[in-house]
Structure 1
Amino acid sequence: MKLISRNTALVVGITLSTLFISCDDEVTNQDTSVATASGANPNVVLTATEVNDIRAKLGSVPLFDSSLAAAKQEVDAAMEKGIQVPIPKDMAGGYTHTQHKLNYTILHKAGVIFQLTGEEKYAQYTRDVLMKYAEMYPSLPRHPQERSYSRGKIFWQCLNDANWLVHMSQAYDAIRGWIPEEDREILDTKLFRPFADFLSVETPQFFNRIHNHSTWGTVAVGMIGLVMDDDELVDRALYGIKNDSISATAMDNDGGLIKAEGQKTGFLANLDEPFSPDGYYTEGPYYQRYAMYPFLAFAKALETKKPALKIFEYNGGVLIKAVDALLNLTDEDGEFFPLNDGQKGMSYNTSSLVSAVDIAYYYGNQDARLLSVAQQQGQVELDITGLAVAQAIEAGKAIPFTKESVLLHDGPKGNQGGVAILRANYESGTTALVMKNASHGLSHGHFDKLSYSLYEDGEEILQDYGLARYVNVEQKNGGGYLKENTTWAKQSIAHNTVVIDETSHFKGSFKESSKHHPEIIIFDTNDKNLQVVSATENNAYPGTKITRTMMMVTPEGGNKPYIIDINQIKSNRAHQIDLPIYYHGQVISTSFDLQQEGTLRPLGTANGYQHIWKEATASPKASSSQFTWLNNNRFYSVTSLSGTKDTFILGRVGANDPLFNLRRDPMLIHRKAGVKNEVYVQVIESHGTYNAVTEKAQDAYASIASLTQVDAPEGYLTIKITMQSGEEQLVVVVDNAFAKAEHSITLSNQTYTWKGNYTLKQIKN
């Protein structure tokens, strides 16, 4: 990858001879000279030279100008309300939490606006607010809410304190050269240095780990260190604390271990361990999104002040790769797939991805696809990276960011499974299948090996529940994680994956799950009409091997694809096996007779089953069963290979949930009892629409009529798919041990040959 250095020399005593108009106010030569009178600052995310370059372009780059105007409007509105620095007391969503969060957001922008316009009122406001914090901070105890493993002072957890310091460091950098020496001394010694020590040496369990929390912590300490030219803080941020006295058994609030044997610490370690060579972040896209801002903002600052680190080349240029990976972990609407703890609806329009896209464009290889994402975001960073993006967009350089099928490996060496995304882009829309074959994902991971979710045109068809939390909604547990995140959302039954004996994978043990990962057998997207991913899990249940193979089949002619899902379970003893699908919408029809429960009862007593209402059950009538539902005026069906001893269960989330913390989502569970070696085969298709205005249903019936398992030699699984049209297809999956051999099967006097793990053939009648 070509990396372009953007280091700029500091300019001492800059004066501008050109008058310019910014927003409403004219700035004089004297004002501008004062704004940049010190050569020391700004010198982190903005530099004096960059400020001059940006000022010269103001009024000529529409997207940058509109971004500046929007920021100015927001800051002006906040300044009109006066300074509010309350004594901390509230959880997330409460007044003090929200106000302190607003303060760091506004001051960050105010400092930038001061630099770009020269208007001293923004510097004065920034200085006055920071001095209020300097008055309060020395006597401030830890936060009164004792909920976090690492209580903060301004906020209930150090994570939010670190957010504060990351942003306030940049606000301070913007005015540090403007304020008097006595003010600098107060802010350096009474506020910022003690703040950095508190987050690090006083709270090592927060600072000295591999986690998104520590990313924020190390960046906060490192950023203020760069602003104050404090190399001790910068080194502490980069390499961690050598002797932290953290217990090997210490855990965070999510049940994750804080310290691992031989674990490195610091910012650079957090670039090494959580990221794979593909740029996938092991905690999942929601927290990758959250961590990208500190990663990239600090990287930009390091590139300016410590260019010898070559931070954008570090670990194979993983930071730039991470932005591309993260954008690929979104649906058609730009919303992140809610893998692990992930809030639905979070998208790349969030502010942290605005900076990520701009920085990746500027310091990467000027990938023109990123420009189209920036256009959708509708704003840019108010720095040199944002200016470059806005200029390139104005020059017409943007090209679409088309999302294709991709395998994002997990683990620092890329050998701990991964997330496979199969995509079909066709004339009428897009379909995306997301299969999670990754490692646990640190403390935000779920027990969901080999799970998947399915999307059509950005809408969830078969969902991943995501997290159980209402972020920043004070009434819901102070905006923090709900207990149902542990008792439901993390449990295996909350996902579209195999569950054995009503027990979660690895018995719900974080420590045990963190030792293992699935093995990806196949990822083949060379044929856009038949894309395949297959993986095996050998450790989730003792003595049991689970292999899941998923195929995205796109018929000729640009029609919508359908999904073939094959689960093969081999065990050393008999079990009860459940395979749920989490659909949205209204049941339309079933090929089996449902027996509705007269009294609602939980499906089980633990491992998530206690949260499922058992609404109805059915026994299949034939070797093939079908379930059709309607959602968003579209018809969907799942056709399943079934046996007469199987059971289908209609369930709904919400049992044992007295505070109504969980969504009342429906599910269909296919249960097989008393089996050792078993196969699940199901085909999922989107096949019709309903128009409420014309009251017409089009193609309301599934195109697939039935599934039949065909006798085959050992090591071969052979399924016949019969369409309503009479057309027949043969699906064959071969054990990996025979994958390289040439294969042939004879069916109805017709011989079919192929090479590899799988094939899909048209049956000749």
Structure 2
Amino acid sequence: MSIVRKYSVRVLLGLLITAGISCADEKTSSLPVSSTSSESLDNEHPSLILTKAGVDKIRENLGSVPLFDTSLAAVKSEVDAEIAAGIETPIPKDYSGGYTHARHKKNFLILQKAGVLYQILDDEKYAIYIKDMLFQYEAMYKTLPKHPQTRSYARGKLFWQCLNDSNWLVYVSQAYDCVYNYLSAQERETLETNLFRPFADYISIENPQFYNRVHNHSTWGNAAVGMIGLVMNDKELIDRALYGIKGAGLQTGEKDNDGGFIYNKDGKAGFLANLEEPFSPDGYYTEGPYYQRYAMYPFLIFAEGLHNVKPEYKIFEHKDSVLLKSVNALLNLSDADGEFFPLNDGQKGMSYYSRELVTAVDIAYQYGGNNQGLLSIAEKQNKVLLDDSGLAVALGVKNGEAKPFEKKSINLTDGPDGKQGGVGILRYGNEDITLVFKYAAQGLSHGHYDKLSFSLYEREEEVLQDYGLARFVNIEQKGGGNYLKENTTWAKQTIAHNTLTINETSHFNGSYEIGSKHHSQLYLFDAENEAIQVVSAKETNAYGGIEMHRTLVMIKDDSFEKPYVLDIMKVLATENNQYDLPYYFMGQLMQTNFDYKTPNTLKALGAKNGYQHLYVEGVGTTTSPNAKILFLNEGKFYSLTTATNKTDKLYFTRIGATDPEFNLRRDAAFMIRRNNTKNTVFVSAIESHGGYSPVSEFAVNSNSSISEVNVVLDTAAYTGIRITDVNGTSRLFILANNTTSKDKSHSVTINNNEHQWTGAYYFK
């Protein structure tokens, strides 16, 4: 007997109306009941994401859980509109963003949603829609050649790359699970023989260069094969998903033409290897938050399927519950508006409002001990999954159990053992000021050559930016929606970041193979005292014979309106070099304390390694011990004060040179160039102050509170910086360069004054 028949028709319709859902068939007085055979009823379906017990509970709560009901109503409206429009499965021909690509993507998203609607509402029209579309794909796939676009290293059939084909199978597996018992045994046999098994074989056995590696691409492939294997109860497919293809002929270190991926590292492949290698014990994903967001869907949705169908794998406990930790890590890698920091290849604007993070939050809540902070994120997302985990979240919100998800200062390690660098985040207050310091590993093919780079935020606004990626995702007019050549020539290059470039050459000479062998080393992370927080790391491999040691200090001084940041870059070299340190500031330049000249004709700063994309808009020098710029961004004033030598050149640059197709943003930077120098220290202070209202037309506290920043001590053992405010009050910061022991006592003399302290640094 259908579960829906437990309710009277009047009661059920009332519940659906309360949820904002109209009856699908107004000509009948009751909801249609699915047709099933007695044979198929013996099979446990749905069981992958939705479960039979979960469907029971969802139906019992329909109309009484607002967040779930709202989500259900929105999905029903979307799917009903697609059903009314009719099914279309065009012959593939386009790149990302093109019509056929977008249509097949829409199809797999709608199929998954139609499946859950069929289970929750028991309305046969959704099962019919899924069945009809699946058989259209079955008829097409039997003779479908490789995709006509040849750009990818692993061409798909429905899409231009196997990655998107894998997306399709991950979602469609869920739809198939939901209608499994609706279909006859013969129909299932036809679909599995002509569509699902050949599809799984194509993205795995026929494309081992895609499937058998450690990368987000392979995670999607592994999940796709594993999820259809779970629905079909096919052990061989499940094992292939978990452990990869054996005997695929890929050697450790083998590369492809898509950026030098490492395959089969240490002889491992498959879903479990992708859990082990890219994730640190803290849950940081080495490719960066943008791709962590993208990979979270296959990671968590396949994990949930394994948990439900094969609980003996204890997948949520794997590697000390790293998947559940990863959700917390990813949420911490976002600004006050929930947008992810664009580390490595990352599109700005991607946030925890994405569908992948709705999935991540719901699953992490259900299987991660009901973290009530996640409920506050779900409230902001204002939607939940239409499954067991989504109902759990919606019930938690309904019952008033949500607590704020507090993002505090945090150090996230990188590497499978947590010993390959990391990302340090310093936060003051309620994300009033946030500093993101990257000292991580290369980050696989999506990594940038930006050791010891940082970015700065005030609430949700960028102050000093990371460029992110050079790509217009799914916008066909820009390179078919794919990565642009400028991603390599600009976005990945060192000069595109707020870090040190030496001799106009990128870190590791821009070599993926070399960069993948090395990582920076954390020197110090101390955020115990919110008034003075420190993160510090060293990089010794980016340039041969040169050590870079960068220390960033967030200081809240009562003499200042807001916290300011002290940036110390100490360089030890064996010979003279040219050093370039840029700050990519957002907003409009207001004032400088030095003279500069602007050229009549804009020319590029250099010829390669990203320099060819920087116009020189101004060049200045100063005999003052400090250079200062003042800029205005989003109604707030910012000042950057940097200690200078009289031989330093001060550049104003702007991105956009050698860019005939206008693929790059025209953002500005202030750069300090120090030439013919061996050992040196760059020191700057960045402060936020005051504001301007275009309505009142008043500027408040528009001037810097810092008078000078000076290097007063620089030895192998210690670096001392004096910060003097406009009232003449000085503060002294001294870093011990060789030990961070909290018990170590230090004593240094500066200008005949002795300073003693215990620990890694002194501030007074």
Whether TM-score is above 0.5 comes out as yes
Shift of 1:622: 1.0
Equivalent residues of 1:570, 1:676 under 8 A apart: yes
SS at match of 1:226: helix
Equivalent residues of 2:2, 2:33 under 8 A apart: no
Do structure 1's residue 744 and structure 2's residue 747 form an aligned pair?
yes
Shift of 1:474: 0.2
String of CA shifts for 1:37-82, please: whole Å, max 9, x gaps. 4534212111222111111110110000000000000001111111
**Equivalent position to 2:338, from 326, 334, 337:** 334
**Equivalent position to 1:88, from 89, 92, 98:** 92
SS at match of 1:349: coil
Structure 2 letter corresponding to 1:745: V
SS at match of 1:719: strand
Aligned pair in 2 of structure 1 residues 27, 619: CA closer, same or farther (>3 Å)?
farther
Structure 1 letter corresponding to 2:7: T
**Which residue does 1:104 correspond to in 2?**
108
**Which residue does 1:5 correspond to in 2?**
none
> 1:584-663 residue pairs with structure 2 within 5 A?
584-663=586-665
Structure 2 letter corresponding to 1:548: R
**Equivalent position to 1:571, from 570, 573, 582:** 573
Aligned pair in 2 of structure 1 residues 358, 712: CA closer, same or farther (>3 Å)?
closer
Shift of 1:258: 3.6
**Which residue does 2:481 correspond to in 1?**
479
**Which residue does 2:703 correspond to in 1?**
701
**Which residue does 1:24 correspond to in 2?**
22
SS at match of 2:426: strand
Do structure 1's residue 152 and structure 2's residue 186 form an aligned pair?
no
Shift of 1:275: 0.3
**Which residue does 1:72 correspond to in 2?**
76
Taking the aligned partners of 2:144 and 2:692, their CA distance within structure 1 comes to: 61
Equivalent residues of 1:13, 1:38 under 8 A apart: no
Aligned pair in 2 of structure 1 residues 665, 27: CA closer, same or farther (>3 Å)?
farther
**Equivalent position to 1:301, from 280, 300, 305:** 305
**Which residue does 1:723 correspond to in 2?**
725
**Which residue does 1:163 correspond to in 2?**
167
SS at match of 1:598: coil
Equivalent residues of 1:13, 1:33 under 8 A apart: no
Shift of 1:560: 1.7
> 1:68-217 residue pairs with structure 2 within 5 A?
68-217=72-221
SS at match of 2:445: helix
Taking the aligned partners of 2:721 and 2:316, their CA distance within structure 1 comes to: 49
String of CA shifts for 1:617-643, please: whole Å, max 9, x gaps. 001221111111111111101100100
Mean Cα deviation higher: 174-183 or 574-583: 174-183
**Which residue does 1:444 correspond to in 2?**
446
Aligned pair in 2 of structure 1 residues 713, 660: CA closer, same or farther (>3 Å)?
closer
Aligned pair in 2 of structure 1 residues 217, 431: CA closer, same or farther (>3 Å)?
same
Structure 2 letter corresponding to 1:472: N
Taking the aligned partners of 1:651 and 1:605, their CA distance within structure 2 comes to: 15
Shift of 1:90: 0.4
Mean Cα deviation higher: 431-440 or 732-741: 732-741
Mean Cα deviation higher: 182-191 or 309-318: 182-191
Do structure 1's residue 410 and structure 2's residue 414 form an aligned pair?
yes
**Equivalent position to 1:324, from 328, 339, 364:** 328
> 1:237-252 residue pairs with structure 2 within 5 A?
237-246=241-250, 250-252=254-256
> 1:383-394 residue pairs with structure 2 within 5 A?
383-394=387-398
Shift of 1:756: 2.2
String of CA shifts for 1:503-545, please: whole Å, max 9, x gaps. 0000000000000000101000111100000000000000000
SS at match of 1:71: helix
Shift of 1:292: 0.5
Taking the aligned partners of 1:655 and 1:316, their CA distance within structure 2 comes to: 48
SS at match of 2:151: coil
**Equivalent position to 2:261, from 237, 257, 264:** 257
**Equivalent position to 2:534, from 532, 537, 550:** 532
Equivalent residues of 1:338, 1:344 under 8 A apart: yes
Aligned pair in 2 of structure 1 residues 713, 197: CA closer, same or farther (>3 Å)?
closer
Mean Cα deviation higher: 241-250 or 452-461: 241-250
**Identity between Structure 1 and Structure 2 (%):** 53
Structure 2, unmatched stretches of 5+, are none
Equivalent residues of 2:713, 2:750 under 8 A apart: no
**Which residue does 1:9 correspond to in 2?**
none
Aligned pair in 2 of structure 1 residues 392, 737: CA closer, same or farther (>3 Å)?
closer
Equivalent residues of 1:729, 1:760 under 8 A apart: yes
Taking the aligned partners of 2:650 and 2:746, their CA distance within structure 1 comes to: 35
Shift of 1:605: 0.5
Shift of 1:695: 1.5
Taking the aligned partners of 2:154 and 2:674, their CA distance within structure 1 comes to: 45
Shift of 1:751: 3.5
Equivalent residues of 1:646, 1:670 under 8 A apart: yes
String of CA shifts for 1:108-132, please: whole Å, max 9, x gaps. 0001000000010011001100100
Shift of 1:182: 2.1
Equivalent residues of 1:652, 1:666 under 8 A apart: yes
TM-score (norm 1): 0.95
Equivalent residues of 1:342, 1:467 under 8 A apart: yes
Aligned pair in 2 of structure 1 residues 712, 548: CA closer, same or farther (>3 Å)?
closer
Equivalent residues of 2:212, 2:264 under 8 A apart: no
Structure 1, unmatched stretches of 5+, are 1-11
Taking the aligned partners of 1:449 and 1:260, their CA distance within structure 2 comes to: 26
Shift of 1:558: 9.3
Do structure 1's residue 224 and structure 2's residue 228 form an aligned pair?
yes
Structure 1 letter corresponding to 2:480: G
Mean Cα deviation higher: 708-717 or 101-110: 708-717
Taking the aligned partners of 1:299 and 1:711, their CA distance within structure 2 comes to: 54
Q: Say how many residue pairs are matched.
A: 748
Taking the aligned partners of 2:141 and 2:420, their CA distance within structure 1 comes to: 44
Aligned pair in 2 of structure 1 residues 95, 729: CA closer, same or farther (>3 Å)?
same
SS at match of 2:598: strand
**Which residue does 1:555 correspond to in 2?**
557
SS at match of 1:573: coil
**Equivalent position to 1:347, from 344, 347, 351:** 351
**Which residue does 2:62 correspond to in 1?**
58
String of CA shifts for 1:396-423, please: whole Å, max 9, x gaps. 0000011100000000100011000000
**Which residue does 2:289 correspond to in 1?**
285
**Which residue does 1:3 correspond to in 2?**
none
Equivalent residues of 1:27, 1:117 under 8 A apart: no
Taking the aligned partners of 2:730 and 2:153, their CA distance within structure 1 comes to: 59
Taking the aligned partners of 2:337 and 2:348, their CA distance within structure 1 comes to: 12
Taking the aligned partners of 2:33 and 2:301, their CA distance within structure 1 comes to: 28
Aligned pair in 2 of structure 1 residues 375, 15: CA closer, same or farther (>3 Å)?
closer
Do structure 1's residue 378 and structure 2's residue 367 form an aligned pair?
no
Shift of 1:260: 5.3
SS at match of 2:575: strand
Shift of 1:744: 2.5
Aligned pair in 2 of structure 1 residues 205, 730: CA closer, same or farther (>3 Å)?
same
Aligned pair in 2 of structure 1 residues 228, 192: CA closer, same or farther (>3 Å)?
same
String of CA shifts for 1:735-755, please: whole Å, max 9, x gaps. 114855312234566533212
Shift of 1:731: 1.4
Taking the aligned partners of 1:79 and 1:14, their CA distance within structure 2 comes to: 25
Aligned pair in 2 of structure 1 residues 410, 248: CA closer, same or farther (>3 Å)?
closer
Mean Cα deviation higher: 261-270 or 516-525: 261-270
String of CA shifts for 1:1-35, please: whole Å, max 9, x gaps. xxxxxxxxxxx986742232332228858715749
**Which residue does 1:488 correspond to in 2?**
490
Taking the aligned partners of 1:252 and 1:97, their CA distance within structure 2 comes to: 24
Taking the aligned partners of 1:568 and 1:706, their CA distance within structure 2 comes to: 19
